[in-house]
Amino acid sequence: MDIRATPEEIAAVRGRLALLADGVPDLPADADTTPALPSASVPAGRWVNASGRSAADAGVLLYVHGGGFAHTEPHAERLLAHHLSVATGRPVFALDYRLAPAHPFPAALEDVLAAHDGLLAAGAPEVVLFGESAGGTLVLSALLALKADRLPRTVAVSPVTDLTLSSPSLRTNDGLDLINRTVLEQVCAQYLAGAPADEAPQSPLHGELGGLPPLLLAAGSAEVLADDARRFAAAAGSQVTLDVYEGMPHVFHLAMLTGTPLNTTATFLRRLADFTTRRPV
């Protein structure tokens, strides 16, 4: 689905993203940060629940943050988790996966898999995966690594799907985005630490993409990674819903953290809510 935007809306989103450098508001008072499930079998992370529902009833959204596989911003991640909980009607578990370069592939992927399995073992009837940027790569990698009768519904925003960095948009959108090929080369090299860039699960596009669960992919048309999302959607087939947001840069959805929702971020949250509240197949 192509989601249109006016020049004014595109400028507003970019302006909100620039404000992230100054920090984000505090977590709202209605956010419940107590553990929603027993934590003995779940890796490190933080709970945020604004849904008014229990994890045993509603299931859990497992949120895998971005940051080039190497960085984390806990304050912003907690606030995004709050928005995700409101939109999806589920408690959110924001995973603190191990970071490169100290912990390169496959450490972060192992943590995502352990969190998925641990949340189910702790009593969640369903786990929905949500990842942005590097986290989007990790949730797609997890789908290829999981061995389960019912794979989790998954949302990936602005993912790197081809770590060989072969997508045409790396060239055609150069200068339009907030990141560029040079940044991605450094990110991928640090994460892979010698592992092949043209193999799955670390490079999801190079895996066997048949039999995947329902997927929602979102990317901005101005991203250098726009074609990573397009190529993955084309290869994975009918189970993928691809939303391309006109004129939007990398991780455009984070604009919701620095003010009242814009049309773009409101649409994003509505699309997320629609996708995650469908009856599992």
pLDDT tens, 17-42? 999 999 999 999 889 999 999 876 78
Strand partners, 45: 95
The predicted pLDDT at position 40 comes to 65
Distance between CA 78 and CA 58 in Å, rounded?
19
Tokens 């993955």 found at: 232
Residues catalogued as catalytic:
133, 223, 250
- Helical (H) or strand (E) element with 274: helix 263-276
Distance between CA 155 and CA 59 in Å, rounded?
15
CB 20 within 8 A of CB 90: no
Q: Which residues of the chain, if any, have pLDDT below 50?
A: 281
* Phi, psi (rounded to 5 degrees) for 46: -130, 140
Tokens 């039999």 found at: 211
**What tens digit of pLDDT does each residue of 89-124 get?**
999 999 999 999 999 999 999 999 999 999 999 999
Q: What is the pTM of this model?
A: 0.96
Domain residue ranges of the chain, discontinuous segments joined by + = 2-276
Distance between CA 138 and CA 9 in Å, rounded?
30
For helices 263-276 and 7-18, the axis angle rounded to 10 degrees is 80
User: Residues 70, 266, 5, 245: what is their CA dihedral angle, to the nearest 10 degrees?
Assistant: 40
Closest CA to 50 of 72, 20, 74, 78: 78
2-276 belongs to which homologous superfamily?
Answer: Alpha/Beta hydrolase fold, catalytic domain (3.40.50.1820)
